[in-house]
Structure formats: C-alpha cells, structure tokens
A = this chain, B = another copy of it.
Amino acid sequence: MAAELTTRELIAKHRPTLDQALEAIRTRAYWSPHPEHPKAYGENGSLDAAAGKAAFDALLGTRIDLGQPGTDDWVGAEVSPYGIELGVTYPHADVDELLPAMKAGQRAWRDAGAEARAVVCLEILKRISDRTHEFAHAVMHTSGQAFMMAFQAGGPHAQDRGLEAVAYAYVEQVRTPDTAEWTKPQGKRDPLALTKQFTAVPRGIALVIGCNTFPTWNGYPGLFASLATGNAVLVKPHPRAVLPLALTVQVAREVLAEAGFDPNLVALAAERPGEGIAKTLATRPEIRIIDYTGSTSFGDWLEANARQAQVYTEKAGVNTVLVDSTANYKGMLSNLAFSLSLYSGQMCTTPQNLLIPRDGIRTDEGPKTFDEVVADLARSVDGLLGDDARANALLGAIVNPDVKARLEAAAGLGEVALASREISNPEFPDAVVRTPVIVKLDGAKPDDEAAYMSECFGPVSFAVAVDSAAEGAELLRRTIREKGAMTVGAYTTDEEIERTVQEVCLEEAAQLSLNLTGGVYVNQTAAFSDFHGSGGNPAANSALCDGAFVANRFRVVEVRREA
C-alpha cells in the first residue's frame, strides 16, 4: 500500500516535538506542546470552540463505524451525567475474528522501528489535539466533568500524558543499538568477532480498560506506551465513557492507514450493557499487556488472573492531608477547598482524610482549634462554591448513582461540618450537581476508623482528629501501607514534622505535596514533570510515567552471526 504519509515526512514534522519531550522527561522542567487555553485553538487546522461544539453535536445519534473486522452488532447507551442521551452506537466485536485481524499488521509495525512508531503516535496525538474542543464535549458528557476541566484534563493534559508515554517508550527502545560489532581479543590468536542485530519486538495485543471519570487522561498513557513499543492495542472503554476513546481509536486508525500501516493495530471493544467483556478479554492468550484504571477489586482480580499479561493498574487509595501548622492559613484553606471541590472530588487524587491535631494547629493568624480549622475550611468551600455558576464550573456533575449514594450516606458517618448542597445547572437541568460534604471523625474511635480507612470515592472528606502531628504521621503511614495513596499532602512549618512526613512518604512510596497554598493543587500532576502514583503502594502498581511503565511492553531479540 502506498502511504499517504511517509515516515520521512512524519519525522520531519514531529521529531522536534519528540526531542523536546525527551528533554523534558530528563529535566522535568515545565513543558507542554498542547495549549491549555480554549482560545488557542481554531488556526492551522484545529477546531475552534464553535466548530468543536458543532462537531460534537453532529456525533449525537450517529453510528461510529470504525470499519473493524468481526463487527457483529452495534452497541452504545451512553447517557451524559448532564442528562443528554448521546445515542451514539459503536461496533461490537466478535473477538475471535477481531483479535487475529489485529495481529496481521504487527510485523510491519515492528519492522518500522521505534522512531517511525513514535512519529506515527505523535501524528495521532496532533490530530486529537486539533479536535480538542470536540473531545472536550465528549469527555464532559461521559465523565460529568465541567467543560473547562474536560477541555484541559481530557484534552491537552491527556495528550501530554500520551506524548510522555511515547517519549519514554522511544528512549527505552533505542537504549540498545540496532546493530553492534563485537570483537573479543584472543591473545595471539585471531579475535572472536560477531555481528549482532537487536530488534525491539512487541509482546502482542495490549488491552486498555478505560475508566468512567478520565477516559482519555487515564487511557492515553497505556495506549500510546503499548502502541509505540510495537504492540497492537485493543481499547475497552467504560460503558459510560465510550465516545472519547472511540474517537481516539478512529483517529489512530486513520493515521495508521495513511502512514501505510494496518489500521487494525488499534481497535475498539465496546460492549453490551452488563456484558462484562473485560474479564473475557483480559484472560485471552492474545492479550499480553493490560492497562487498567478503576476499582481496587477488579484491579486485584486482573493482577491475580490475567497471568499471561503484563498488568499495569491504577486502583483506589485513601489520600491524606496532614495539617500540622501553616504560615499561610488563608492560602491553605483556599487551596484545600479547591482540591476538595474540583470535579466533586471524583478524582483518584482528591484528598479524603484531613488529619488535624485535636489540640489545634499553629498558623500565621494565631493558634486555631480543631473545630476552628474545620469550620474555616467549610467556610472556604462555601465561599468558593457560593456562586452557582462558579460552583457548576468547578464541580461538574456527579458521574453516576453510586457516587451520589455514597455522598448521601456519608452524612451519617459522623458530625457534619459542611453539608452537601444541591446546585442547579441552568443549562442541564437533569445534571446531578452537589457540593462536597465534610464529616468530623475521631482518629482514636474504632467506629470512625472504619469510615476513614475506606475509600469513599466522591465529594466526601473526613476531618479526622488525631492526638498530634506525629500520631497523624503514623496514621498516614498505616493508611498508605494498608489502603494505598495516589497523593499525600501536608502543611507544616515545623522542620521535624516535615522530615517525619517526608520519611513516611519515602518509606511507603507515596507522592507528597508540601504546603501548597497557591495555584497548584495536591490532586493535579503535570506530565513530563510529576509522577502520577508511585507504583510502590497498594493504590497502583505503576506510575505515570517512568521506565518501568514501558520497559516490559517489548522485548529485545538478538540475532548474532560470525562477522
């Protein structure tokens, strides 16, 4: 097949971006090629706000025909957390036909080499980037994120994480040269001389199991890491969040075909309601890599049962913020209030347990009692969300009825310091919008422990009274060790407490944000610089993104012969 896009053209177009990404993961300074501002789009072929909205609207009620082999039905029943029925249907695959078809193009993809694969991946990301406005609506109406967050987290930030994975995959593959001449001296005899060829070979077909809340942000790292290392990739989206990944698959298939590769290297596995296809796929012998984001129970199941595959999981944890003291009380409160509110706390990185000494804390505004800190935080959240328009823009919608149920039950777990409120969304009257609840618990009471030592995913936080900051650090340690943590925060002006908390995080392998009072929040990480998760505590068995995330997605085969 004559490629419309030659590898040479793609290298010329994307190699500078790849090189910048390689430099960024080395220095971990700020960098992104994907603009965060909606107004940055609309030129050079990218869709502006209106065109993106129109493109999204045009998708509603349509069938997304990816042209995949083995399509035996059309499925799809997404209902936006904002109330819209998307009415989009997707191919349902006969996997006995689809999986073999996905292998047909693997040899050519392997033989293309690491650089060609990287620039094809970058072209896919570029076309997705150009459609960021369209993807933003797709993410908003599947995850329930507010538009601006769906735009940024589902657009440029997700694309950054995908590009970061491509950069790690590329550099890992080129650590070993394509060929080597090996000449070993033998004293007076002729040296031994071998010519060696090294080829990065894929493991097989990779399965990406998407999540409801961050279909692109959590899906892209595994998708691009596997594709860039030569594997075919089957994307199994969450049944409530198919559209953003179906569009992604569509773009990937287009680019692969234009570049002369088999489009079946990337395919979608949409499912019927209740079909539970993930378990079936995850144990198929063809599936050699799995990336999963979701519940601990299914993540643990995958790790235990998908033994034929490399399994990368991001599960659930219990995130803690230890509050000992602060030199910027207002900044701390507003920073925490934002973290608790953003996307109604429906982030795997949102703090859940706020550990506060029962005797109170030291601040630049003088000592504050436990109750004062909690009341001030509640006021800060109330202030942040006092205006309904702003509240809607920050909170988004409750993603599913389970979250709503947990939120409603949380008020019964202890004394409510801040009650959850309903917010009406004038644009989407069916959206379920709720402000966070803050519940006071006592760290020393066994009944309360049952609550704060369980993940309560959603807009629920516990203000947990602890005997001292040092006791809090020990509870932090136990929480990470037993339940895992995607993030840890701490506020302290005390060097010893700071050292103690750092040591806990180093020993339990948790990512720590210290004394954040400005515009960076504990629940946000930046690709190319911050690690998302550590892979060293029970919340996740891998981190985004590091060498370990990519190094075992391919193997190196050596062919040696006498020179």
| Residues of chain B lying within 8 A (CB to CB) of residue A502 | 559
In contact, A511 and B557 (Cβ under 8 angstroms)? yes
Q: What is the minimal beta-carbon distance from A60 to any residue of chain B, in angstroms? A: 34
Tell me if A96 counts as interface (CB < 8 A to partner B).
Answer: no
In contact, B562 and A27 (Cβ under 8 angstroms)? no
In contact, A196 and B530 (Cβ under 8 angstroms)? yes
In contact, A505 and B176 (Cβ under 8 angstroms)? no
In contact, B562 and A551 (Cβ under 8 angstroms)? no
Q: Quick one: which of B37, B192, B514, B548 contacts A518, CB cutoff 8 A?
A: B192
In contact, B560 and A514 (Cβ under 8 angstroms)? yes
In contact, A558 and B530 (Cβ under 8 angstroms)? yes
Stretch touching chain B among A5-13, A112-120, A177-185, A247-255: A177-185
Q: What is the minimal beta-carbon distance from A415 to any residue of chain B, in angstroms? A: 32
Stretch touching chain B among A198-206, A361-369, A387-395: A198-206
What separation, in Å, do the CA atoms of A192 and B187 have in the docked complex? 62
| Residues of chain B lying within 8 A (CB to CB) of residue A512 | 557-560
Contacts A110-B506, A506-B201 given: A29-B557 contact, CB under 8 Å?
no
| Residues of chain B lying within 8 A (CB to CB) of residue A515 | 561-562
In contact, A176 and B28 (Cβ under 8 angstroms)? yes
Tell me if A258 counts as interface (CB < 8 A to partner B).
Answer: no
| Residues of chain B lying within 8 A (CB to CB) of residue A536 | 201, 203, 555, 557
- A523-563 contacts to B (CB < 8 Å): 526, 529-531, 534-536, 543, 546-548, 551-552, 555-562
Tell me if A280 counts as interface (CB < 8 A to partner B).
Answer: no
Give the oligomeric copy count. Answer: 2
Tell me if A303 counts as interface (CB < 8 A to partner B).
Answer: yes
In contact, A543 and B556 (Cβ under 8 angstroms)? yes
Contacts A203-B536, A551-B546, A560-B513 given: A529-B182 contact, CB under 8 Å?
yes
Contacts A199-B506, A551-B551 given: A30-B183 contact, CB under 8 Å?
yes
Tell me if A517 counts as interface (CB < 8 A to partner B).
Answer: yes
What separation, in Å, do the CA atoms of A107 and B500 have in the docked complex? 13
| Residues of chain B lying within 8 A (CB to CB) of residue A445 | none
A328's nearest neighbour on chain B, judged by CB, is B562
Tell me if A16 counts as interface (CB < 8 A to partner B).
Answer: no
| Residues of chain B lying within 8 A (CB to CB) of residue A172 | 547
| Residues of chain B lying within 8 A (CB to CB) of residue A562 | 515-518, 520
Chain A 154-194 against B: per-residue CB contact (8 Å), 1 yes, 0 no? 00000000000000000010011100111111110000101
Q: What is the minimal beta-carbon distance from A285 to any residue of chain B, in angstroms? A: 10
In contact, B560 and A556 (Cβ under 8 angstroms)? no
Q: Quick one: which of B182, B199, B520, B556 contacts A546, CB cutoff 8 A?
A: B556
In contact, B560 and A530 (Cβ under 8 angstroms)? yes
Q: Which of A196, A510, A555 has the most CB of B within 10 A?
A: A555
In contact, A552 and B526 (Cβ under 8 angstroms)? no
A29-B183, A535-B552 are known; give 10 further A-B pairs, CB within 8 A.
Answer: A27-B180, A28-B177, A28-B198, A29-B182, A192-B520, A509-B555, A512-B560, A517-B562, A518-B562, A543-B556
- 10 pairs from A and B in contact (CB 8 Å cutoff): A27-B177, A28-B198, A30-B185, A110-B506, A199-B506, A201-B536, A203-B536, A512-B560, A520-B562, A536-B557
**Top-4 shortest CB links A-B:** A536-B555, A548-B551, A28-B180, A547-B551
